[in-house]
Structure 1
Amino acid sequence: MIPRSTYRLQLTRDFPFSAAQAIIPYLADLGFSHVYASPITTARKGSSHGYDVVDPTRINPELGGDEGFRQLAAALRARGMGIIIDIVPNHMGVAGGENPYWNDVLRLGPDSPYARWFDIDWRGPLILPILGATLPEVVASGDLRLQEGQLVLYGEQALPLRPGSTGGDLHDLLDRQHYRLVHWRTANDSLNWRRFFSINDLAGLRIEDPHVFEDTHRLYFDLFREGLIDGVRIDHVDGLTDPAGYCRTLRARFDAIRDGEDRAYIVVEKILAADEALPADWGVDGTSGYDFMRDATALLHDPAGEEPLKALWQSFDPAHVDPLAVVTQARRDMLSWQFDAQLGACVAAFEALVAAERPAAPAMEAINPAMLRRAIERLLWVFPVYRTYHDGRAAPASDTAARDKAWEDVQPHLPPGEANVARLVLDWLSGDKQGDPTLVAQAVRRFQQLSAPIAAKGVEDTAFYRYAPLLSANDVGSAPEQFSISIDTFHRRASERGGLFPHAMLASATHDHKRGEDVRARLAVLSAVPDLWREAVARWIDREPDLLVHPADRYQILQTLIGVWPHEAGRPLADDFSGRIAAWLEKSLREGRLRSSWEAPDSDYEGRAQLLVERLLAAEDFRADMSAFLERIAPAAMANTLAQTALKFCVPGVPDTYQGCEAMDFSLVDPDNRRAVDYVARQAKLLDDEGADGRKIGLVHRLSALRNSAPALFAHGSYRPIPATGLRAGHILAFERRHEGKRLVCAVALRLGLPIVERGGMPDEPWWGDTRLEGEDDLPPARMFARDPYFVNLYE
């Protein structure tokens, strides 16, 4: 069943199925057709997100178990609503001894029936990087000892023993296990199994194995067969060996249960590059919406502000001014620091290919492992998309542009005389170069499963903490080279999405976002008033000079403060405000890995940065100045919020609202964006159209009702841009949608930051001048946008 709109819930033991069930009347009143839930299968005890699944065959007892889920599903059905669940086919949680399948592999090694579940190189013992010191130090300190027939680490984690290996010297006992215990810091260089990104607690699954697929997906098919779920969202699809094959298999299995109008709704978590398209032949309904989130935010950015903001940033950090250069260096760092073992496995796979070719191709004699390593790592430095999709037999034509771009961009980085090696790698990725099918499939798989985490860790988890002219441009799914987009570009992408994936999710906030949707909407105003912002920064940037904090970090702190400052005039800072900023700052400094890191935190520097925040928040004049600045830009920020919301509910696709974001959301990066939601307060605002919260909830309510009144129009309606003409044509994005005699007209006012700040409200008729919508002469902008920056009307 295709949802009309979804509401994302983060389920935890503190917000289980019963809590979700309690807010169903509120969600129904708001007009949402479906709950979109975080993973419901059994995760590690106390998990705050559910993606560390330890048993995909059981519904999580901490959430309420099977009975609790059935009650939730029944309550939704009683309201005419449904549920979409998040599934995690790429990895499982393996920390803490809670995963029975992993434990069986540790006990029996490659003979375990579950050994095929995990992507392990069994040419040696399985490397377990779970020690806080070297093995001799851990043994000498008594932190690892034999107790009741099992190894106990740090008094809390039990490690199973190989059958028949109990008793005797501890060192000898350890030597006889199927695993080797090592210091956690050695994982990046020694790991012999695929993990999720650089997280040692999450082990990659071999979901391409039909038996593993069946074992780990049986529950989902049973739930769909019983009518308890309406579809799934696939987490990190790019981590799989063959995403296309997986999605097609999943679609076929769901369709075999129920097809037609009631077929399963399937979306994938997929980060698309700015001009990358999701393949249309996977059998899915689209992505989970990062591409819309990227485009909507870029649309709010005033292109005129890009250069002034870059110049301001350069004055604080001249070493990080070219976004593409920053990304390339971040990719290099991540590949070298965190993925050396995976890179080594990739190089070895291509070396096996080269060795197999040498008897028939003497030219291969000139290619050695060092050359292959240089070629592969340099291609990974510049690869323009998360990955390509060679399935072990051939590559789709859609991969061609990415490989061509990689070939073009890698040239400056290749050693003289070694371009042919990079070309050879790309030819194998393209399928143009043949070889032993098994070896080709292995090598291509290694490359494709490495390029995705390098892209993710290099861009969103590193570069976006090193390069920050405007933080609203730095979020999951954002394109570093894309500060803003034109109205025509937005129209083109919305039209293409509507043509190929009319039911794709449209997100404006997620459990992974770095800044809430209203933080981004507010920060986007700075692009319209860069001079006003520069003057404010000049007053604040050098405060507390005795605290030696890098200007770039000071600047990110100031942006973050203005982004999350209380949005209601005169409202005091909440008790947890300072702590939230402190948590964000710690993560920002450590993810950037310039002046601190997770691996080696610089407590002295972090302490100075935290003290700077504390002193700023304690200074009455700073608080007053910050509040005064916010008061000036608040109406423009609200205009951005409402315009973004209107677009999400009206363009082709299924609007998704992240928990609590029907009201104003000023959250920061996780875990801040996963805090408990005050639903009592939001329910009270549902009937109150005043104030920021009330205006946003009111808009969500009205647009949800509109979608529910004309579901076919929103599900199948055409999309046609309505051009604007006249003096302010560049400040209106408008379109119509038609279906079976119904017509929707939607127009939003854009990039009004400067005139709103200057006037204190929406621009009047003289400012708009002769601006009109083509064919809509009865809708002058000053009337459409008299109070709000959106106009939505349904014509029967």
Structure 2
Amino acid sequence: MNNTTPAALVRATLRLQFRAGMTIDDATALVPQFARLGISHLYASPLFAARPGSTHGYDTVAYDQIDPALGGEAALVRLTDRLHAHGMGLILDIVPNHMAVDAHNAWWMDVLAWGQASAHATWFDINWHDPAPDLRGRVLLPFLDRPLPEAMMAGSLVLRHDGDGGLFHIQHHEHSFPLSPASYAALLAQVEAPGALLAAFTTVALRGGPGAEADSALAALRHWAATQRGQAAMMRLASLHDGCDPAGRTRLERLLAAQPWRLACWREAATRINWRRFFDITGLVGVCVERAEVFEAVHGYLFSLYQRGLVDGVRVDHIDGLAAPAAYCQRLRARLDALGRLRPESALPGAAIYVEKILATHESLPAAWPVEGTTGYDFMDQVSAVLHDARAAPVLDRLWAACGPDARACGLIAREARVQLLAGGFAAEFGQLTRLLATALKARGADCMPAADLRAVLEAVLVSFTFYRTYFGDEVMQDHAEDGAALHAASTAARPRLEARLQPVLDTVVSILSARPEHAPAACVRRAEQAFEHLTAPLAAKSTEDTAFYRYGRLISRNEVGSDPARLGLAVAGFHAGCTARAHARPAAMLTTATHDHKRGEDSRARLAVLSEMAPRWHAQASEWFARNGAETAIGPDRIDELMLYQTMLGAWPLTPFASVTTREAWCERIVQWQTKALREAKRHTNWLTPDTAYEDACTAFARRLAANGAFMARMDQVVARMAPAGALNGLAQTLLRLTTPGVPDLYQGCDLWDFSLVDPDNRRPVDFGLRHALLEHAGSFDASAATWRTGQVKFDLIRRILSFRARYPDLFAKGHYQPLEVEGADRDHAIAFLRQHDGFSLLVVAPRLPLGMEIQADTLAPGRDMALRVTLPQPVGPWHSLLGALPVQATVPFARGQVPLVCLVHDAGGRGLP
């Protein structure tokens, strides 16, 4: 890994979601507030030009400009000026893997206009050699609302001329498909266009591609189309190609046949798509950023911003979508390091590189990637798991099993989802991979075999492959021990499912998929290898995060991005092991507990973790609701969906009573919105493509009936009242651990107060920054905040205090040694303790866990009994200064009755004076 980046400069980040009401100038006004909170870097969602109306920015249409809808580059300059005035920097989220399939994407439109002759034909991951005769050398465009013949007869394909760009288009609702200028001569001849214009486009057809002749011809067409005669001709052409008329339909068919693309119904995308998408989203096309010219085009403007000091670091979206992540990271690091010498003297040193990467439980970030670390999903899993009581598994399993035959083990559910997705949403990608492997097998000298046999072998491997991907297809020589282990585990699991005659095929397939670049495998082998790696990542994401997480309801606080729901809890020793490994390998990795992609808010997860401490009582309560609420007397929900609904309601329940019927109904609307999305993602009774409105309506009616049932709501309120104090302490514990363990803490917008949000779009709602400004202005003691903990100020105060200390003593956190501490006594399971030490400073942190067993008091969050635990310090240290206020009687006996059990103590051996 790269050790030269001054990681200490990135002390703490704040993730801000732009669009949907947040502009760059809006963010600029908030900079002083973030600085006072102790943030060192604003961590911005994508700012480059996106599809008009985008709510998130991941649908990029141009990499060479800041989105005008956000204020453009001028606004970015104002933001960075304000950031630098407060000693802060900017980390920008970039999206090199994919772009929007949109008329505003000039590169994509050029490909549609010119096909393989386009200068951008190889910039997108398009299979120009598709075996289907009608797609060979063409791009499938599955955007019609019905099959092509029906669309033509319905008159929904309309010929239009763009007076500004000069191109003809086929318009279909919001979609615009440019016609190739090579087909314009025959088109214009139908309306007796000027002879010179026809001759010009005859030359264009002869050339077959863009160039000076085409530019000149299009300019002449624009000029003629603007005349009265030309305007009449354009109207005449539209009429001549009206699909509602049989003759017009024939002309339209002939015109469409001459294009470098083929129109199709959107339902054909799953089976016929011949270009790589982002996951299964047909509106996003894969970019070949591994090509040098594409890398430069995608990053050229970013490099300019960095060189000018307007950007200080990057977050790379979906790194596993790239063909060669290691090569990409090395190229990106090298360019940023080289440009660093050209930055203004006033610019911050940099640049930090973070990658969005989902790590399996025993997976580490490849050492060949010269980056600071991941965006923190691995930490989010670890800190959540350590706050769950793994001993509850048998009781929770019994409750889960009572939900019916579909309530199976998480691994089986995920495997079934993979099978379903391979046959459905990823059928085209699966077919392409099978064909590439067949070619590679033939090159290896393997006998020809039926396609069905090869598909059976490949499916067995894919459904058993639990990592996101391997990296054998990368261009960089690197350690493939983890890749090999993952592939071996998948093949071992696949073997019993295959006939004996297919075992040798399995071995050969695995050898192809594990070919290394230094062994110079054939090009067909490399293509098969990369196609496998391009499929496993979206298959893993869609089968687990977007399917199994909505089917497996044992305890949904563990159904989170980056987590394995089958693992209910993590021992304290396991949490320490993760922190120690991170301190050694990636000390500047990002630590997060909430993101724009999380399934539920960080404090909702923390509250639901309490169910693992009260599993028998929860089993009884859920069973009572099953019996009383009558879900199974209607169409739905079934037991699984009902159990997940109850948990969601518990997790999102407000800390203060509903102020009115209106507020209760607004809360119910959020629950219903979540429920509909959850049902469709689960794909059990309904889905996004073919919704079962009867089942969805029944589930909605059930949820609304619960919200209107006074007895149920009162009982829900009682259950939450018991859980909420312990849940709040869990939330404070994970916040404390995020702020003090090795790594850079990230604060997702709005999560400085309690976060009981649901999955997007709920977790992207506007944030009340005015309230947070007022909290900064009227900061009081930590004890006073704890006494009114339901307001969330105690969490805000915890963050403010520790981030302020980090700002004064950054090296203690960036370079400080991490030492787990032994906890002894009958209550030792209730504490996580460690030291951070550097340059004479010692930071002692003791965070609570399993707080329900501590009898946390509802008014103070303090233990309601004496705690029998003692922390063993390596040597006598003192005196201690508390970052949170009052000191315990002894540092070695940290949790005292009557005090909030959060300990963050500092000792300075050098007597330098502490805040």
TM-score normalised by the chain length of structure 1 = 0.96
The residue number in structure 2 matching 1:559 is 647
Cross-structure match for 2:392? 305
Q: CA deviation at 1:547?
A: 2.7
Residue 436 (structure 1) shift: 4.8
* Aligned partner of residue 624 in structure 1, secondary structure: helix
Distance in 2 (CA, whole Å) between partners of 1:415 and 1:150 is: 55
Deviation track 1:671-701 (CA, whole Å, cap 9, x = no partner) reads: 1111111111222233352333101100010
Q: 2:21 aligns with which of 14, 22, 34?
A: 14
Counterpart CA distance in 2 for 1:119 and 1:34 is 34
* SS of equivalent to 1:116: coil
Q: Is 2:181 the counterpart of 1:163? A: yes
- CA distance 1:732–1:626, shift in 2 (3 Å): same
Given the alignment, which residue of 424, 433, 440 partners 2:525? 440
- What CA deviation, in whole Å up to 9, does each residue of 1:761-782 have, x standing for no partner? 6675864235443458832546
| Distance change (3 Å), C-alpha of 1:595 and 1:400 | same
Tell me the SS of whatever aligns to 1:262: coil
1:720 corresponds to which residue? 819
**C-alpha distance in structure 2 between counterparts of 1:277 and 1:734, whole Å:** 24
Q: How big is the shift at 1:229? A: 1.1
* Offset, 1:518: 0.6
Q: Which residue of 2 aligns with 1:497?
A: 582
| Structure 1 contact 245–391 (Cα < 8 Å) conserved | no
Where 2:673 maps in the other structure, the secondary structure is: helix
Q: Equivalent residues in 2 for 1:92-111 (5 A)?
A: 92-95=99-102, 97-111=103-117
Q: Contact 1:302–1:484 (CA<8 Å) still a contact in 2? A: yes
Q: Give the aligned partner of residue 344 of structure 1.
A: 431
Counterparts of 2:371 and 2:435 in 1: how far apart (Å)? 34
Query: 2:903 matched to 1:791?
Result: yes
- What pairs with 1:249-648 in structure 2 (closer than 5 Å)? 249-258=331-340, 262-358=349-445, 364-365=446-447, 367-391=449-473, 396-398=479-481, 399-431=483-515, 436-541=521-626, 542-545=628-631, 546-549=633-636, 550-569=638-657, 571-572=659-660, 573-648=663-738
Deviation digits for residues 704-756 of structure 1, max 9, x if unmatched? 01111210111111111011011111221111111111111111111122343
Q: Is the 8 A contact 2:98 2:285 kept in 1?
A: yes
Partners of 1:115 and 1:12 in 2: how far apart?
31
1:452 to 1:80, Cα distance in 2 relative to 1, 3 A = same
Q: Describe the SS at the equivalent of 1:193.
A: coil
Alignment check: 8 A CA contact 2:440 2:512 kept: no
2:222 is matched with which residue? none
Residue 400 of structure 1: CA displacement? Answer: 2.2
Q: Per the alignment, in what secondary structure is the counterpart of residue 314 of structure 2? A: strand
Q: 1:591 to 1:138 in 2, by over 3 A?
A: same
C-alpha contact 2:857 2:863 (8 A) present in aligned 1: no
- Identify the range of structure 1 (157-166 vs 341-350) with the bigger mean alpha-carbon deviation: 157-166
Give the whole-Å Cα distance in 2 for the aligned partners of 1:589 and 1:322.
Answer: 19
Distance 1:741 1:530 in 2: 45
Partner of 1:35: helix, strand, or coil? strand
Within 2, Cα distance between the matches of 1:42 and 1:400? 40
1:189-268 correspondence runs (5 A): 189-258=271-340, 262-268=349-355
SS of residue matched to 1:80: coil
- Once the two structures are overlaid, the 10-residue window that deviates more, 615-624 or 460-469, is 615-624
Q: Which aligned pairs between 1:663-674 and structure 2 lie closer than 5 A? A: 663-674=753-764
1:37 matched to 2:120? The reply is no
Query: 1:44 & 1:707 partners in 2: Cα distance?
Result: 39
1:571 deviates by 4.8
Which amino acid is 1:560 matched to? T
Instruction: Specify every segment of 5 or more residues in structure 1 that has no aligned partner in the other structure, as ranges.
Output: 359-363
RMSD (Å) for aligned C-alpha atoms: 2.0
| Letter in structure 2 aligned against 1:691 | W
Distance 1:759-1:681 versus aligned 2 partners, 3 A rule = closer
Shift of the 308–543 alpha-carbon distance from structure 1 to 2, 3 Å rule, reads: same
Candidates 146, 151, 162, aligned match of 1:133 = 146
Task: Indicate the larger mover: 339-348 or 681-690.
Answer: 681-690
In structure 2, the partner of 1:25 is 32
Distance, in Å, in 2 between the alignment partners of 1:395 and 1:406 is 21
Residue 786 of structure 1 and its aligned partner are, at CA, apart by: 4.2
Q: 1:784 to 1:442 in 2, by over 3 A?
A: farther
Q: Give the direction of change, closer, same or farther, for the CA distance of 1:288–1:759 in structure 2 (3 Å limit).
A: closer
Partner secondary structure for residue 747 of structure 2 = strand
SS in 1 for 2:906: strand
Match of 2:846 in 1: 747
How far residue 311 of structure 1 moved from its aligned partner, in angstroms, is: 1.1
State the secondary structure of the residue aligned to 2:65: strand
Q: CA deviation at 1:213?
A: 0.1
Q: 1:141 to 1:310 in 2, by over 3 A?
A: same
8 Å contact kept, 2:604–2:756: yes
Distance 1:395 1:701, change over 3 A: closer
Aligned letter for 2:120?
Y
Describe the SS at the equivalent of 1:390.
Answer: coil
Contact residue 740 and residue 813 of structure 2 kept, 8 A: yes
CA contact (8 A) 2:112 2:261 kept: yes
Q: Is the 8 A contact 1:390 1:396 kept in 2?
A: no
Which has the larger Rg?
Answer: 2
Matched, 1:682 2:772: yes
Alpha-carbon distance, 1:153 to partner: 3.0
Structure 1 contact 330–463 (Cα < 8 Å) conserved: yes
User: How big is the shift at 1:395?
Assistant: 6.2
> How much does 1:703 deviate?
1.0
Aligned to 1:779: 891
Equivalent pair of 2:376/2:591 in contact (CA under 8 Å): yes
What amino acid is aligned across from residue 159 of structure 1 in structure 2? Answer: F
Cα deviation code 1:169-228 (max 9, x no counterpart): 101101111111101111010000000000000000000000000011011111111111
Q: Deviations over 1:358-383 (max 9, x none)?
A: 2xxxxx11544333222222111011
> Paired residues, what number?
790
Work out whether 1:83 is the aligned partner of 2:83. Answer: no
Q: 1:375 to 1:784 in 2, by over 3 A?
A: farther
Partners of 2:308 and 2:748 lie apart in 1 by 27
Structure 2 match to 1:361: none
Contact persistence 1:762–1:785 (CA under 8 A): no
Contact residue 292 and residue 508 of structure 1 kept, 8 A: yes
CA–CA distance in structure 2, aligned partners of residues 296 and 436 of structure 1:
42
Closer/same/farther in 2, CA of residues 287 and 186 from structure 1, 3 Å limit = same
Any conservation in 2 of the 1:378–1:413 contact (CA below 8 Å)?
A: yes
Identical counterparts, % of pairs: 39
Counterparts of 2:592 and 2:578, CA distance in 1: 15
Deviations 1:536-563 (A, max 9, x none): 2233234144433211111111111011
Given that 1:726 and 1:771 are in contact with CA atoms closer than 8 Å, whether structure 2 keeps it comes out as yes
> CA 1:155–1:331 in structure 2 vs 1: closer, same or farther (change >3 Å)?
closer
